[in-house]
Chains A and B, each alone.
Chain A
């Protein structure tokens, strides 16, 4: 990289020379650094290796911020070069010569100059401030227009995200006795994955019942804090089909670094199909605990899981207790509906493969420090047989007709070279899956 060479050229060997040489080298290094910034800005080509970059925007909101950023960046670069040039020039031009005995003119100041370098920066700042304020009010106004928007409620948890679609009611528990739907109505609910249609405004309402988090999808929008007792929101219109990566950016405790999520922007028709698959009422059979090894039913050991987890349409009446302050609002643990279609486990920490899931169930604390599942499941809590049956069951939680991934790669199963998951757990071949649970239409 040119930047490394530029910095490296300021080797300390030039120390002590009286001539202008070290100063020139320093100046050269600064130019190299500036070039490096430019390089970073213009290198927008290969976004697949930079999943969290914010200088490659894909929504109108992100475009506006990027426009503002470019304006400020260029002005900053001019000021930077100007000031550094003045410093370096003064340092070279006005060096003390040997045996210089007369003192230089003792100048105490210059009113004109001082007024000039007060007013000119003020004008420069004004040219930043005006578009800044315009942009902020525009964002706020467009976030308040929610008539046709897709509403997504996001709940920050320690350390995962629960995602609710309040506009889509989902199935309830189906009574084994007569097949009728019973139980409390719910909304469509996922964890750590947000699926949105392109071309339609999405409004995210952000909630927390524990500590402060921050919801950030760099390529789609700026971040917004998720604060207990406050309802914050973000709104933007996804433009490009694809998978985008999100992260928590407010320190929220031990595993803050592993609180990630993906946003899958898909064509509207695919979004509708996905909603339909999610909303379909379950069959009676899939919600009863298995007693005969039928992997399409939850194994008996799943009883431990449903203390906290929920699967839409089963009797897995999860503990709806929250962490601390407001347990009524959301679940204690990720909703596992259609778990087999998830890309990752533990909020972007592991790729969702049977092997990784088995590792996770074996000892959650060893995978993700401090997570609350590890207070219930320690090493040796589950036997190998139980882990196997749980893995088989969980990976089977898919619609019969597949996961509604959009075709053609984009937005589909993500490229394992790119998906930012920890790769230290070996990724094996997906075993032949047992028959998916039948889905009533």
Chain B
């Protein structure tokens, strides 16, 4: 494997490659976690903008009652693609960008455990994104909602009408299936990386909290995605092979045939995935904020251990609350009571996190830089989403809130006021590390306040629309409904929110050109990534660091105390390859001795970098082609001599070639 190399006993090894090549080919074949992180970030941000534009088209449509700017079907496509894009193509991969870029740096590693698998994850993500996006060109964008409730997703025709005949649902189902491959592969990679690649002394309970949130999010993905994979396979069999997993009965012209299928089967499978998915979207945000607030408060995270347990508890409970999406499906009072209780239970660790963030700020020396503004913005705005979440954890109340704008308000406070605020905070926070340049603070603060105002004007009135009974997924509404006023406010707010992203893009462009040099550690931060140059060299750490403290850089800068009251931790012995290093003694040695000592101890973490490889790209292309072929197989679409369904075969061959070449390619 890539991580095994010859020990070089003389001095700390110099990397073979110290300068970057920057051509297109280098980006297509890169296996560097930092470059893959950048690729994830740029691609996902593009999708974030696309998803935002989709939302704004919907807001123009709804700005006035009985508006027919776009047809109802087009509107249905827009809201389906908005949800799907934001969840799977924007927030998840943006989180993934930070996992990729930051986690190896924070744990003192030179790359992830499986660099080529990492590249494969990215290219498969691109493939899934392309499948979903190309649906627009086929004029068959998914139009059944991001949650795709059967039987609306089924392919059926009857005496008086048909639905689901076209490919819309296929683009969606197979696109998500591909994205699932990407997510699971990437997540396994991160679980293994975090468990195995930590530098000496980075015990689990000394890991930066962002690494904890990455670890637990990755575990969530690995455990939750199989549920939607199964659900989508059953759906695809219904659509392509004529099974009836989600249809209770069919009519053959004379007889009613009971099939034993059930639409609720889809809902259970989907939400067993779908609710952990919510935490997959928010836990990385919690991790980012937990990094930023201590740095700009000059205080360690309040209740670190409890924060870790809270993330774990949220993740664990997250698998036991899915029925709260189904409170109005008529399951009866007993299931609803159980899942109401579990849903309220999950609010407790979430609340603990909020209070611990406030506790971190309390008594600190807070500096409101842009990342800090966004981070505190999350604490404030996510709280609103959390509170409204508890409101519809009560099933009788949910019978009113369910599928109304109240719920839209709720989850946008969670996913925008939570996830997006944190991701923007993360971009402002790590931008200097990634580019070596500081972002413009003045523009950043303008960006924050415009976002804050636009966000609240857009989403807060949706609570009122919900109370006034406006359902979700309505392409239009009557003038007499009483919803016109707030809809106009909401639509105006969405334009402010849209404008805020222009400010951000301008800031990024300007800072890339003219940003002040960042230096290694512009924020006086506490974690390892700030100990190395900005941008980091290809090999990250010239020497693998040895860590004795939860906030290693503060410990280095301010001593054991890191300030008064900063308790030194008891020294922990580290076992490497059967030999023991007493970490407490190590820092007194000079670096060369340290290195020799490590090498004597069998530490073979030398500088050796994996080779670039294009096989992950080939394998990803194969998946893309095979899924496109399947999509065009029914209704069959040959264009002239070109039989599009044959793409499936070509894609499988391409995929196998990619995997084969990858398997026999030398690692480094």
Chain A contact residues, CB within 8 Å of chain B: 3-4, 7-8, 10-12, 14-16, 22, 26, 29, 33, 36-37, 40-41, 49-55, 64-65, 68-69, 72-73, 76, 79-80, 83-84, 86-87, 90-91, 94-97, 100, 102-110, 113-114, 117-118, 121-122, 125, 128-129, 132-133, 135-137, 139-140, 158, 210-212, 214, 216, 218, 221-225, 227-230, 232-233, 247-258, 308, 319, 321-328, 332-333, 348, 369-370, 372, 375, 417-424
What total of chain B residues lie within 8 Å of the partner, measured CB to CB?
126
For B359, list chain A residues within 8 Å (CB): 109-110, 113
CB within 8 Å for A223 and B403 given contacts A103-B558, A324-B158: yes
CB < 8 Å neighbour of B565 from A106, A121, A250:
A106
Q: Are B344 and A129 in contact (CB under 8 A)?
A: yes
CB < 8 Å neighbour of B561 from A8, A65, A106:
A106
Q: Are B248 and A325 in contact (CB under 8 A)?
A: yes
CB < 8 Å neighbour of B482 from A50, A64, A258:
A50
Q: Are B263 and A323 in contact (CB under 8 A)?
A: no
Q: Are B159 and A322 in contact (CB under 8 A)?
A: yes
Residue picked from B158, B448, B473, most chain A C-beta under 10 Å: B158
Considering the chains assembled together, what is the distance between the CA atoms of A10 and B562 in angstroms?
Answer: 37
Q: Are B249 and A94 in contact (CB under 8 A)?
A: no
For A103, list chain B residues within 8 Å (CB): 298, 365, 558, 562-564
4 more A-B residue pairs beyond the given contacts A129-B394, A212-B149, with a C-beta to C-beta distance below 8 A: A52-B469, A53-B482, A83-B380, A105-B565
**Chain A binder among B300-308, B639-647, B654-662:** B300-308
CB < 8 Å neighbour of A308 from B143, B160, B366, B467:
B160
Q: Are B396 and A68 in contact (CB under 8 A)?
A: yes
Chain B residue at minimum C-beta to C-beta distance from A209 = B249
Q: Are B396 and A140 in contact (CB under 8 A)?
A: no
For A110, list chain B residues within 8 Å (CB): 302-303, 359
Nearest CB in chain A: distance from B497 CB, A: 13
For B263, list chain A residues within 8 Å (CB): 212, 227-230
For B356, list chain A residues within 8 Å (CB): 109, 114
Considering the chains assembled together, what is the distance between the CA atoms of A223 and B472 in angstroms?
Answer: 13
CB < 8 Å neighbour of A420 from B157, B442, B480:
B480
For A68, list chain B residues within 8 Å (CB): 394, 396-397
Q: Are B306 and A114 in contact (CB under 8 A)?
A: yes
Considering the chains assembled together, what is the distance between the CA atoms of A118 and B306 in angstroms?
Answer: 10
CB < 8 Å neighbour of B161 from A16, A158, A212, A257:
A158
Chain B residue at minimum C-beta to C-beta distance from A10 = B453
CB of B513 within 8 Å of the partner chain: no
CB of B537 within 8 Å of the partner chain: no
Considering the chains assembled together, what is the distance between the CA atoms of A50 and B348 in angstroms?
Answer: 36
Q: Are B562 and A108 in contact (CB under 8 A)?
A: no
Considering the chains assembled together, what is the distance between the CA atoms of A80 and B261 in angstroms?
Answer: 44
CB of B136 within 8 Å of the partner chain: no
Considering the chains assembled together, what is the distance between the CA atoms of A118 and B346 in angstroms?
Answer: 11
Q: Are B66 and A247 in contact (CB under 8 A)?
A: no
B residues 307-357 in Cβ contact with A at 8 Å = 328-330, 332-333, 336-337, 340-341, 344-345, 347-348, 351-352, 354-356
**Chain A binder among B176-184, B205-213, B215-223, B455-463:** B455-463
CB within 8 Å for A251 and B383 given contacts A72-B391, A96-B367, A326-B256: no
CB of B163 within 8 Å of the partner chain: yes
Q: Are A104 and B159 in contact (CB under 8 A)?
A: no
CB < 8 Å neighbour of A12 from B446, B463, B482:
B446
Considering the chains assembled together, what is the distance between the CA atoms of A332 and B348 in angstroms?
Answer: 50
Chain A residue at minimum C-beta to C-beta distance from B162 = A324
Q: Are B303 and A136 in contact (CB under 8 A)?
A: no
Binary contact track B246-259/A, C-beta < 8 Å → 1, others 0: 01111100001000
For B329, list chain A residues within 8 Å (CB): 225, 227, 230, 232
CB of B523 within 8 Å of the partner chain: no
Considering the chains assembled together, what is the distance between the CA atoms of A183 and B595 in angstroms?
Answer: 97
Residue picked from B299, B330, B473, B562, most chain A C-beta under 10 Å: B330
Q: Are A104 and B298 in contact (CB under 8 A)?
A: yes
CB of B384 within 8 Å of the partner chain: yes
CB < 8 Å neighbour of B337 from A83, A96, A133:
A133
For A122, list chain B residues within 8 Å (CB): 348
Q: Are B358 and A55 in contact (CB under 8 A)?
A: no
CB < 8 Å neighbour of A424 from B66, B304, B366, B391:
B66
Considering the chains assembled together, what is the distance between the CA atoms of A1 and B291 in angstroms?
Answer: 39
Nearest CB in chain A: distance from B408 CB, A: 13
CB < 8 Å neighbour of B397 from A69, A91, A423:
A69
Considering the chains assembled together, what is the distance between the CA atoms of A257 and B79 in angstroms?
Answer: 13
CB < 8 Å neighbour of A52 from B380, B391, B468:
B468
B residues 624-668 in Cβ contact with A at 8 Å = none
CB < 8 Å neighbour of A118 from B251, B337, B348, B483:
B348
> Can you pick out 21 interface pairs between chain A and chain B where the beta carbons lie within 8 Å of each other?
A10-B449, A12-B446, A12-B450, A36-B464, A53-B468, A54-B469, A72-B390, A108-B304, A108-B567, A139-B396, A140-B333, A227-B264, A227-B330, A251-B144, A253-B163, A256-B76, A319-B160, A324-B157, A324-B158, A418-B480, A423-B480
Q: Are A222 and B457 in contact (CB under 8 A)?
A: no
For B367, list chain A residues within 8 Å (CB): 95-96
Chain A residue at minimum C-beta to C-beta distance from B463 = A37
Considering the chains assembled together, what is the distance between the CA atoms of A175 and B404 in angstroms?
Answer: 50
For B464, list chain A residues within 8 Å (CB): 36, 40
CB of B363 within 8 Å of the partner chain: yes
Considering the chains assembled together, what is the distance between the CA atoms of A110 and B157 in angstroms?
Answer: 64
CB of B481 within 8 Å of the partner chain: yes
Nearest CB in chain B: distance from A345 CB, A: 13
